[in-house]
Amino acid sequence: MEKLLARFRSAHTQVLGVSVDSVYSHANWAQSMGGVSFPLLSDFHPKGAMATAYGTYIADKGITDRATVIIDSGGVVRHASSVTPSGQRNIEELAALCESVNTKHGDGLSGFPNPPGIAAGATLYVKSHCGASRAAMLARHNLHLDARVTVRNVTEDAAARVELQKIAGKDQAPCLVIAGKPIHESKAIVQQLVGAATDIPG
């Protein structure tokens, strides 16, 4: 899916992944896949509420069916299918389905805006053994921003700690610094990275 995102976008299709796993599971799974930059939605609490609405929640097992739902811009479901929880989707076929829906129902839709990107010199300051720092680093990796955002560990690098104190007035990490402006708290950092890498609002 990640490799074909440009094809989905050209068919006016926003790809979303949904599961009953937590956001933490999603972040770690995405890292294990080499980075997943499309949104992963956590149908965690109340567990399976979204899946239930789509008829894909398997309550006795506490999991969702491995299903695909394609919805047009007017909110009409144009395709729904299942490969069962253990099955595999054919992503080429899904892309072709989205292109077909777009051909039939996509008149007048504008293209996705280009993501704004991240200013050169962006730096993410982190601490060792810090869950919030790990969350920020996972977002950086999953959004394919490794080459654009430098990481400096203030636990292991005294110079990085001094540098962060000069910029932010404190050595609190994680801290994302873009164009000299510090952003603290992992949630705000992740939202900033998401906004820079995609057109989906943080």
Q: What's the pLDDT tens digit per position in 112-167?
A: 888 788 989 999 999 999 999 999 999 999 999 999 999 999 999 999 999 999 99
Q: What's the pLDDT tens digit per position in 156-198?
A: 999 999 999 999 999 999 999 999 999 999 999 999 999 888 6
Within the chain, strands assigned E span 17-19, 40-42, 57-58, 63-64, 67-71, 77-82, 123-126, 150-153, 175-178, 181-184
User: Distance between CA 182 and CA 189 in Å, rounded?
Assistant: 10
Nearest to 111 by CA among 50, 30, 17, 199: 199
User: Span 52-69, mean pLDDT?
Assistant: 95
What separation in angstroms does the CA of 65 have from each of 12, 32, 54, 68, 87?
A: 25, 22, 10, 9, 9
Q: What's the pLDDT tens digit per position in 18-47?
A: 999 998 899 899 999 999 989 999 999 999
Higher pLDDT, 200 or 141: 141
End-to-end CA separation in angstroms for the chain: 21
Are the folds of 2-105 and 123-197 the same? Answer: yes
User: Distance between CA 176 and CA 65 in Å, rounded?
Assistant: 38
Assess contact for 150 and 201: CB atoms under 8 A. no
User: Distance between CA 176 and CA 168 in Å, rounded?
Assistant: 10
Tell me the backbone φ, ψ of residue 179, rounded to 5 degrees. Answer: 50, 40
Domain residue extents for the chain:
2-105, 123-197
pLDDT reading at 200 higher than 50: no
User: Distance between CA 80 and CA 17 in Å, rounded?
Assistant: 15
Nearest to 30 by CA among 137, 175, 122, 176: 137
- According to DSSP, residue 2 is labeled G
pLDDT reading at 199 higher than 70: no
CATH superfamily name and code, 123-197: Glutaredoxin (3.40.30.10)
Task: Report residue 169 as tokens.
Answer: 């007035």
Amino acid of residue 55: G
Position 111 scores a pLDDT of 87
Assess contact for 63 and 20: CB atoms under 8 A. yes
- Determine the CATH number of domain 2-105: 3.40.30.10
User: Distance between CA 175 and CA 132 in Å, rounded?
Assistant: 10
